[in-house]
Amino acid sequence: MSGNFRPPLPGYKPKPQSPTSDPRQFIRDFSFHNCKLGNQGFQRLLIQVFGYAGHGKSSFINTCKIVWENSSYNNYTKASGSQGGDTMDRRTYQLTENIILVDNRGCSAMKSHEKGEIFAQLANLMPLNMKVDWCQGFKLADRIVEAEPLVQPSDFISPIFVYSIGHAPNPDEKQELKEILKTCREMTGVEAIVLLTHKSKGNLERAEAMFKDMGAKHVFSLENYTPKNQSRSMEVHNSVMKFLYEVVQDAKFRVDYTRDPQKEMTERKIFVLNYIHNKGVEAHIQKLEGQKAAENASMERTMRVKTEEADKQKQKDQKEHEEKIRQLEAEFERQRLRDQFEHEQRMEKLQRGRKKK
C-alpha cells in the first residue's frame, strides 16, 4: 500500500457529500480523504481523456475548464483549429484541488503498437506533462520501466473515451472500438465513460445505441466549445456539470470499498506489459506468415511461369512437328505425281514402240 495512506481518524466523520447536494459544491469539495474508508492511498482523481486524434479530446477539456471556471472562451489546451487534432504530449489541467483532467495523446488509426501506447497512458504508466513518442515492443516496455519513479500510484483513474459522432465507423472500426473499450475495462476494472462530441454532426441515437451495445454504461454527448463555437450555452454547461458529477460520484463509490493503489498500479503494469508482449508476438507471427505467403506466392509465380514456358514449348514443338508432317506430305505428293508422270511417260513410250512394230 502507498505511503500516502490515511485511515480515518477515530471518531472521524466524513464530510457529508450526499449526491443530492449542490453538484458544484459536491465536485469542488471532493476529496478521497472523505471516503468511508479514508483515502486508502489515493490523492488525486485523474479524469483520463483518451481516444482517436481529432475527435475533440482537447476541446472537451477546454469545455470542462470553461464551464467550471464559468469563463468566456479560452483555449486552455491549445486545441487545434484543424480537423486532425495535434496534441503530442500528455498534459494535465487542474479542475479542483483534487481533480485533474488529463489530455492524452491520441492516434489517427489504432495500429497495434499505438494501442499499446494508448493503454500505457490510460494505465497512468507514462509520465504526465511530457511529450509522448510512439515506439514499439521492448522500447515501450523500457519506457514504462524508466517512467516508474515519475508516475503516481496515488492517482485514481477515471477513463473517458472521446468519440466524434461526425465519424460513422465501418465494421472493422466498430470491432476496434469494442476491443478498446473491452481492454480498458479489463485493465482498469471499470467501464470507460463515453463522451460523444460533434453532437449535431451525426446520428446521436445511433451512436449512443452503438456504444451501449458495446457495454458502455454511461454515454454523454455535447457540442464542444471551439474557436468557431464560443457562445455560452446552457445546454453545454448542464451537460458538463452532469458529466463531472457522474465521474466524481462514480470515483467516490469505488473508493468507498477496500482498495490498494500500489497493487492496482502493479496489476495495470503487468497487464500493459503482457499486452505489449502479446501484440509483439502476434506481429511477429503475422510477419512470418506474411513472409511465408510471399514465398508461396513467389513459388507459385515461378511454377506458373515454368508451366507457361513448357506449354509454349510444347505448342511450338507441336507446330514444328505439324509443319514437318505437312512438308513430308507435300514432298510425298510431289514424288507421287513425279512417279505417276514418269510411269505414264514410260507407258506411252511402250505403246508407241508396240505400234511401230
Ligand X SMILES: Nc1nc2c(ncn2[C@@H]2O[C@H](COP(=O)(O)OP(=O)(O)O)[C@@H](O)[C@H]2O)c(=O)[nH]1
Q: How far is the CB of 110 from Mg ion (least distance, A)?
A: 16
Complex with ligand X: residue 26 or 52, whichever CB lies closer: 52
Under 8 Å between Cβ of 122 and 48? yes
Partner interacting with residue 81 (select from Mg ion, ligand X, none; CB below 5-8 Å by kind): ligand X
Show the beta-strand stretches assigned E in 212-345. 219-221
Q: How far is the CB of 19 from Mg ion (least distance, A)?
A: 32
Q: How far is the CB of 202 from ligand X (least distance, A)?
A: 10
Cell reading at 35: 471516503
Partner interacting with residue 272 (select from ligand X, Mg ion, none; CB below 5-8 Å by kind): none
Partner interacting with residue 223 (select from Mg ion, ligand X, none; CB below 5-8 Å by kind): ligand X
Residue closest to 214 by CA, chosen among 182, 186, 188, 187: 182
The conformation of residue 201, written as its DSSP 8-state character, comes to G
Partner interacting with residue 181 (select from ligand X, Mg ion, none; CB below 5-8 Å by kind): none
Partner interacting with residue 197 (select from Mg ion, ligand X, none; CB below 5-8 Å by kind): ligand X
Complex with ligand X: residue 144 or 210, whichever CB lies closer: 210
Q: How far is the CB of 194 from Mg ion (least distance, A)?
A: 17
**Residue numbers of the site for ligand X (CB under 6 A)?**
53-59, 79-83, 85, 87, 106, 197-198, 223-224, 226
Complex with ligand X: residue 55 or 268, whichever CB lies closer: 55
The conformation of residue 32, written as its DSSP 8-state character, comes to G
Sheet holding 193-197: strands in order across? 130-131, 89-94, 99-103, 44-50, 155-164, 193-197, 219-221
Cell 507457361 sits at which residue?
Answer: 308
Neighbours of 200 (CB within 10 A): 11
Bridge partners of residue 197, in order along the sequence: 164
- Beta strands 130-131; 89-94: pairing state: antiparallel
Complex with Mg ion: residue 134 or 271, whichever CB lies closer: 134
**Residue numbers of the site for Mg ion (CB under 5 A)?**
57-58, 85, 87
Complex with ligand X: residue 130 or 305, whichever CB lies closer: 130
Q: How far is the CB of 29 from ligand X (least distance, A)?
A: 29
Q: How far is the CB of 106 from Mg ion (least distance, A)?
A: 6
Residue closest to 210 by CA, chosen among 175, 240, 244: 175
Q: How far is the CB of 125 from ligand X (least distance, A)?
A: 21
Q: How far is the CB of 182 from Mg ion (least distance, A)?
A: 24
Complex with ligand X: residue 110 or 144, whichever CB lies closer: 110
> Distance between CA 67 and CA 237 in Å, rounded?
6
Partner interacting with residue 59 (select from ligand X, Mg ion, none; CB below 5-8 Å by kind): ligand X
> Distance between CA 185 and CA 354 in Å, rounded?
123
Residue closest to 1 by CA, chosen among 214, 199, 250, 258: 258
Q: Could you give the residue ranges of the DSSP H alpha helices within 75-192?
A: 112-122, 137-146, 171-188
- Beta strands 193-197; 219-221: pairing state: parallel
**Nearest residue relative to ligand X (C-beta):** 85
Partner interacting with residue 83 (select from Mg ion, ligand X, none; CB below 5-8 Å by kind): ligand X
Complex with Mg ion: residue 58 or 183, whichever CB lies closer: 58
Complex with ligand X: residue 144 or 244, whichever CB lies closer: 244
